[in-house]
Amino acid sequence: MTDAQAGSAQFPQVRPRRLRSTPAMRRLVAETQVSPAQLVLPLFVLEGAREPTPIAAMPGQVQHTRDSLRATVAQAAATGLGGVMLFGVPLRRDAEGSGATDPDGVLNTALRDVVAEVGDALVVQADLCLDEFTDHGHCGVLDGAGRVDNDATLDRYRTMALAQAEAGAHLLGLSGMMDGQVGAVRQALDAAGRDDVAVLAYAAKYASAFYGPFREAVASTLVGNRRSYQLDPANRRDGVREARLDIAEGADVVMVKPASGYLDVLAAVAAVSEVPVWAYQVSGEYSMVEAAAANGWIERRPAIEESVLGIRRAGADAVLTYWALELAGWLREVR
């Protein structure tokens, strides 16, 4: 071996850095992409509001009026988002969550407003859960001992599903984590001739500390916790099991929530799911980035972009994120 040959042998023959050399090269070989159509914007609408009300724990987010909601969904459609998920914040609550099934209640009114504004330019989605409407803040009705009554709650979910379908929802987001909720709602919709309405199962929804800011957003009245029906953060297989059950019951889409702390669950669900898999980048994930950026500890835009990209890379076909509009604008700039 000559000296020249010996010298060259000291250098690596495989150089992965060649594929990272320029922005154009990195775009060309990127394994994962994010597009506006893969983003869903959660929105809160406050009953009787005359002006948007800022949510202190979620800087940049508001409880909408009917007018500001219509303006925002029109912007979402123009930006090319995939959809919006609506949450209602009522002024009056009771033990049964009767406002959830009132045709003139805040959420059903908001659904009609949004569908009238954007038609089918967006997938108009409704949160199907009782927690925003009950005076005790739980996701279902309570029995005499103060426990959430699973099967009695399913009856309320059936009625709620039909009310939301009548209001124009394209997709119902079943977030209450009651056993059998997907099958119950699917059967009710089909029996009423509403087999056109899709069902999103919050299949792997964990009892997470990262929901904290959301509770301000919906003015939650919860006392206690939801650990008896939401999943234990210690359990990955349980999330996969719940997803399989929901698919068997007729879910059109399954979801993992939260996203960033549960990427292993998301990947495991995506590996076995026969239907689209979504993930919800929840309020605590949003607020942590906003707080760190406001303090100058991280650079805001790259952190947002990276966080959503990581969720997509783990297997999410779509991401619910409070940054959906802003991120979609950045993506359009790049293109």
Residue 97 token pair: 């969550």
Helix (H) or strand (E) holding 278: strand 277-280
Q: Give 240's DSSP letter.
A: H
Dihedral sign from CA coordinates of 106, 43, 214, 38? positive
Q: Give the end-to-end CA distance of the chain in Å, rounded to a whole number.
A: 51
133 given a catalytic annotation: no
Contact 216, 63 (CB under 8 A): no
Annotated active-site residue in 70, 158, 205, 312: 205
Annotated active-site residue in 257, 273, 277, 307: 257
Alpha carbon distance 101, 241 (integer Å): 30
**Block residue for tokens 């005790």:** 136
Contact 320, 87 (CB under 8 A): no
Alpha carbon distance 256, 275 (integer Å): 13
Alpha carbon distance 63, 91 (integer Å): 13
202 given a catalytic annotation: no
Residues annotated as part of the active site: 205, 257
